């Protein structure tokens, strides 16, 4: 038995906390993150905070400017495209490897998942969690579950764009329906339909970006090489 021990170090806690807040937009793009302030707020020293920020910077979720500051990165449409390309490539390739005999446990899990996705008035974050689990489950069917973690690490910008899109639309129904269609096609062994529906499903994010850039341009990166700067603000003691 090779149970991988995941010690709950402060670094892991801080990393997961910050990553969640960035992805859920609780920390909006452009927010200044001071290592000292974060450390004080989280009740730890700078060390675990700093090490977490380094990992987040490696994922592109934050940007570190030495001697200036650390900032939640703005959503970069180029990175969204890169992540979408990678994700689509992986998920379509996985569909090609789905065996004729499906793992019944995974199939059952996926059915339960899809039912929950269509619960009326579902919370947006809960839908996202189910969405992630659904796509992860599809990769499981093809025996490529472990490749999912790499995709997850790479698609931070993509996830933020999708959240922005869903918040604006305020409905998850079309996506849940597409999930059902993909699932049905996989179960039926209809590979071409599964591929085509998946491709359409994954490319939906592109429909939103341009409109979103008009609504909230401050959340998106520009290519003018500008960098954030510190601002002194009045503090009410």
Partner DNA sequence: TGTGCAGCACTGGTATACAAGCGTTGGTCG
Partner DNA sequence: CGACCAACGCTTGTATACCAGTGCTGCACA
Task: By CB under 8 A, name the binding residues for its own copies.
Answer: 1-3, 7, 9, 50-51, 54-55, 58, 66, 78-79, 82, 85-86, 88-90, 92-94, 144, 146-147, 150, 153-154, 223-225
For residue 144 the two structure tokens come to: 């490529």
Q: Does 55 bind DNA (CB under 7 A)?
A: no
* C-alpha–C-alpha distance, residues 21 and 26, integer Å: 5
CA distances, 61 to each of 23, 32, 202 (Å): 8, 12, 21
Closest contact distance (angstroms) between CB of 29 and its own copies is 17
The one segment of 78-86, 133-141, 162-170, 229-237 that binds DNA by CB under 7 A? 229-237
CB of 20 to DNA, least distance (A): 18
Q: Which of 16, 20, 37, 190 binds DNA (CB under 7 A)?
A: 37
State in angstroms the smallest separation of the CB of 188 from its own copies.
23
CA distance 3 to 66: 39
Half-sphere exposure of 49 (CA within 13 A, CB side): 15
Q: Is 33 in the site for DNA (CB under 7 A)?
A: yes
Angle at Cα 21 formed by Cα 15 and Cα 26, nearest 5°? 160
């Amino acid at each position: 038995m090779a149970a991988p021990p995941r010690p709950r170090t402060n670094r892991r806690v801080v990393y997961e906390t910050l990553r969640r807040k960035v992805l859920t937009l609780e920390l909006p793009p452009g927010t200044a993150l001071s290592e000292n302030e974060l450390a004080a707020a989280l009740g730890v020293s700078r060390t675990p905070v700093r090490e977490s920020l380094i990992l987040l910077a490696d994922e592109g979720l934050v940007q570190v400017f030495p001697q200036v500051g650390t900032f939640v990165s703005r959503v970069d449409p180029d990175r969204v495209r890169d992540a979408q390309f990678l994700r689509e490539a992986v998920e379509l390739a996985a569909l090609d490897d789905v065996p004729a005999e499906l793992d019944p446990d995974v199939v059952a899990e996926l059915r339960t998942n899809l039912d929950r996705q269509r619960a009326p008035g579902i919370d947006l974050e809960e839908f996202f969690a189910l969405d992630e689990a659904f796509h992860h489950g599809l990769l499981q069917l093809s025996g490529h579950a472990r490749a999912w973690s790499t995709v997850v690490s790479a698609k931070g910008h993509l996830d933020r764009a999708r959240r922005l899109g869903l918040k604006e639309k305020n409905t998850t129904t079309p996506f849940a329906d597409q999930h059902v269609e993909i699932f049905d096609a996989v179960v039926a062994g209809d590979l071409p339909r599964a591929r085509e529906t998946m491709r359409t499903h994954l490319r939906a994010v592109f429909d939103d970006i341009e409109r979103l850039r008009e609504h909230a341009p401050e959340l998106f990166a520009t290519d003018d090489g500008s960098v954030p700067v510190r601002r002194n603000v009045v503090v009410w003691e």
